[in-house]
Amino acid sequence: MALLVACGTPRASPTLDASPAERADLFAARDAVWKAWFAGDSARLAELLPERMVGMGQDRAAIIAEAIAFRQAGGRLDSLVFTDDELVVRDGMAVVYSRYRAHTTVAGRRDSMVGAATELFVKDGARWINPSWHLHGTDR
C-alpha cells in the first residue's frame, strides 16, 4: 500500500527496518543520550539534543538541569538494557521504539525504571540527534 503526500503523489512505504549500519548508528546515538543524561554530562547532552526540542514536556534546558541534579544527588546508572527495538527510518528521520530497564543508585538507594520508549532522531550531517522522546513506565 502506497502512502500519499498532500498533492496525491504516491510515495514508497517507510523503511520499517534500517540497514545494519543505520541500526548501529541509531542505537549508539540512543545509548549516548541516555548515558549522558545519567552521567549529568551537560556538554554531551548539549551536543546530542538540539536547542529546540522537547522530551516528556521539558525543553533542553530543563532536561539538562534534571540530569545534573540527578548526578549531584549522588545518582549513578548501574545498568541499562533495551529490548524489543523497532525502527522506522525515512528521509533522514528515524523513530526508535523500544522497551527499557534501567537500574540506578541514588544516595545508596537502588531503584529501577522499566517502560517503553518512543524516540525521534534526525540526521544532522553525519550524526543522529534526538529532538524528542516519550517514555511510558510499565510494570513489565
The amino acid sitting at 38 is F
C-alpha to C-alpha distance for 1 and 7, rounded to whole angstroms = 17
- 26 pLDDT higher than 90: yes
Closest C-alpha to 33, from 59, 63, 56: 63
Pick the residue with more confidence: 8 or 139? 139
Check residue 57 and give its pLDDT: 87
pLDDT of 139 reads 57
What is the spatial distance between Cα 62 and Cα 70, in angstroms, rounded to a whole number? 12
Query: In this prediction, what percent of the chain has a pLDDT beyond 70?
Result: 86
- pLDDT at position 9 is 42
- From CA 83, how far away is CA 62, in angstroms rounded? 27
- Could you report the per-residue pLDDT of 51-105, keeping only the tens digit for each? 999 888 899 999 999 999 999 999 999 999 999 999 999 999 999 999 999 999 9
Q: Which of 53, 65, 62 is nearest to 122 (CA)?
A: 53
**Predicted pLDDT at 76:** 96
What is the per-residue pLDDT for 13? Answer: 46
Phi, psi of 32 (to 5 degrees): -60, -40
Of the chain, the percentage scoring pLDDT greater than 90 comes to 79
Q: Which domains are delineated in the chain? A: 15-137 (3.10.450.50)
pLDDT at position 129: 96
